[in-house]
Amino acid sequence: MTVCLAYEHPYILLAMKKRGFGAGRWNGYGGKVKEEESVEESALREIEEESRIKASRLEKMGIINFEFQKNPGNILEVHFFHILDYKGEAIETEEMRPKWFDIEKLPYNKMWPDDRYWMPIFLRGEKFKGEIYFKDQNTILEEKIRIVEELK
């Protein structure tokens, strides 16, 4: 899976997920990687589908493996990207409603609980890897996020 964020200090583009997994939460753009795509191709496709902006350059910032207590052993690997260059303005689509936020006023109470751990690292421009184990969609049982020099 992918999560892609446009960040132009001091503002970051988030989108309210309107349906499906994560509905009712502010998040980045992204989704599932199709069988015939690379992670980067998926990220570019998802950005355009969900926002109508055309991204041309991404930087991979992190990888986190998520696991939920109700599905032990089913690891969800998520790749986080900084959208560096794009054309157009994000518009509301059937799936997402965009909004720019000042990074000092992020709506953490309406975001995934794990965002509090990796978002500050992302905003500092540092790369990260980690594992997060959820009891349910609102409760983290264990979190391990570390800063890394490079991502493989």
Q: What is the pLDDT of residue 39?
A: 95
Q: How do the pLDDT tens digits run along the chain, 152 residues long?
A: 999 999 999 999 999 999 988 899 999 999 999 999 999 999 999 999 999 999 999 999 999 999 999 887 889 999 999 999 999 999 999 999 999 999 999 999 999 999 999 999 999 999 999 999 999 989 999 999 999 999 87
- pTM, two decimals, is 0.94
d(CA 102, CA 1): 26
Q: Which domain holds residue 76?
A: 2-148
In the chain, the amino acid numbered 122 is F
Q: Residue 94 is part of a domain; what is its CATH number?
A: 3.90.79.10
Residues 28 and 34 sit within 8 Å (Cβ to Cβ)? no
d(CA 68, CA 141): 9
In the chain, the number of structural domains is 1
Strand extents, DSSP E, 18-150: 26-27, 54-68, 76-87, 96-102, 127-136, 139-148
